Every structure is written in C-alpha cells, then in structure tokens.
Amino acid sequence: MPRYALKIEYDGAPFAGWQRQKQHPSVQQAVEEALRRLQPDAPGIAAAGRTDAGVHALGQVAHCDLVKEWDPFRLREALNHHLKPLPVAILEAVQVDEGFHARFSATERRYLFRLLCRRAPATHERGNVWQVAYPLALAPMQEAARRLLGRHDFTTFRSTMCQADSPVKTLDALDIEEIAVPYGQEFRFHVRARSFLHNQVRSFVGTLERVGAGAWTPDDVQAALEARDRAACGPVCPPQGLYLAHVTYPQDPFQA
C-alpha cells in the first residue's frame, strides 16, 4: 500500500486534541473521515505529536496508507475539499517510503507559544494567544529559560497524567523574543527538543511568566527544576497560545 506523509495546519479550538476520542471531536477523526471519503476502508493514521485540547498546529505531520496510488497534489486537494468547513488544512502531501513513520521517525519537535501582554482585550488574535493585562520583563525570563536547557529530570514540569516512561529529557532550545504590538507586547517562546513530556511546554511558559512579572526569580526556577516535584512548578498556562510548529526528520519528506 502506498504511504503518504501529510503536513497539517489546524486551529485547535473546536477540538478535544489531536487523538481520536469516543465522545469528543478530534483532529485525527476529522482527517481520517476525509480519507475515508476517498477510501472507505482506509486505516487509521499516526501523527508526530498528540496535541492537547485547544492546542494549534502550524506543521503537524501524519502518515496514512492508501490502496490507490494518488498524485500528491490531487490527494491534498481532495482532502482539503472534504475537510471543509473545519479549521484543518493539508499543507502538503507526499509519497514516502513504507519505513517512514510520522512519530517514530521524527528526530525533533518544535513548539511556539505566543503570550500577549496588553490591557485591551485581544480581538483578531483571540483564541490564538494567552493574554495577560500587565507588562513582562524579557531579560529575567531569558535568564530563567537558560537554567532549563540541557538534559534534566523534568518531573517538576510534567503533568501528573503524563505516560512517558521517564521524566528525563533533553531540552535543546528555549528562546524568547519580544515583539512590539499595538498598545502592548507579544512574547514568543520557541522550544525545541526530540520529545516532550505532557504539559511540559505550558508548564515552562507559565513558570517563566511569573519570572517576567517579578513574582519569581531565575534562581526560583532553578530550585523548582532541582526539586523534581510537580508541586514546585509555577502555574500551567492555558493551551490557546501553543502551536506545534515543526517536526524534523533525518530526510525531510516535504523538501523537493
């Protein structure tokens, strides 16, 4: 059966996450139903990351197996037709080797988190950013972020529902940039690692926001990391500012 890799963009607001669920709509369900309009017995699909409810994607990757050999352009167009009017888009479709696996072949995942600081409510970005009504300081957040880089036991920043075998992960990058916006500021957190624990990025951002607000210091973040205790974590921020931005593979299937 020919295997295809799909690069997927979606707004996570209407969904209970990526993974198919019995009683709630999911992105996986939406894509699988579109595939089954093309092939009624199409098997389930696998994705690079199981994003939570309300989390968005700019570059989620999934793979599917189909009986018919499709021209990738026509496959993309057909799927996008059947996905309407849901906020899910297939950006690219390519045929890949049968050994390609969207999850297990991935070597890196990159997340983006958007934090808007301004008193006036968000209008155009509503549902796409986490908003706070007060300014934050960039430099202390950057210093605290540097304390988290490298290989650590991240129990403090791990959800109690996390199913990972080990809390030990290597954080390759946690870069923060400040962007001027009308009547406020936006901070963008760029986070990169091979894999992440459940709620790890949202735990990072919620804790770093406390540093930017002056309630925590970088030393407090260091102490929280070393505590290896979920109770030592700062508040976990809401999901609407989080995006799965990019997935890296040894050979990029989408590069011409």
pLDDT (tens digit, 9 = 90+) per residue, 32-43?
A: 999 999 999 999
What residues have CB less than 8 Å from 51, skipping those under 6 apart?
Answer: 12, 17, 18, 27, 57, 60, 242, 244
The whole-number average pLDDT for the span 61-84 is: 96
| Cα angle 106-158-160, degrees, rounded to a multiple of 5 | 120
Q: Which of 8, 31, 5, 6 is nearest to 97 (CA)?
A: 5
How far is residue 170's CA from residue 154's CA, in Å, rounded to a whole number?
A: 9
Any alpha helices (H) in the chain, and if so which ranges? 27-38, 72-83, 138-146, 200-212, 218-227
- Dihedral sign for Cα 72, 74, 78, 81, please: positive
Say which of 52, 165, 172, 220 is annotated catalytic.
52
Per-chain mean pLDDT for the chain: 96
Tens of pLDDT, residue by residue over 79-123, are 999 999 999 999 999 999 999 999 999 999 999 999 999 999 999
Any alpha helices (H) in 113-232, and if so which ranges? 138-146, 200-212, 218-227
Top-confidence residue, 164 or 61: 61
Task: Specify the pTM.
Answer: 0.95
How far is residue 17's CA from residue 24's CA, in Å, rounded to a whole number?
A: 9
Residue 22 pLDDT grade (very low, low, confident, very high; cuts 50, 70, 90)? confident
Q: For position 162, what pLDDT does the model report?
A: 87
Cβ-contact 143, 218 below 8 angstroms: yes
Tens of pLDDT, residue by residue over 128-140, are 999 999 999 999 9
Tokens 């926001």: give the residue: 209
**What is the bridge-based pairing of β-strands 88-96 and 130-132?**
unpaired
Structure tokens at 225: 């990391």
Tokens 């969207």: give the residue: 102
Structure tokens at 221: 């973040």
Check pLDDT > 90 for residue 161. no
Tens of pLDDT, residue by residue over 177-194, are 999 999 999 999 999 999
Check pLDDT > 80 for residue 141. yes
Told to judge if 71 belongs to the known catalytic residues of this protein, a careful annotator would answer: no
For residue 79, the tally of other CB atoms under 10 A from its CB is 24
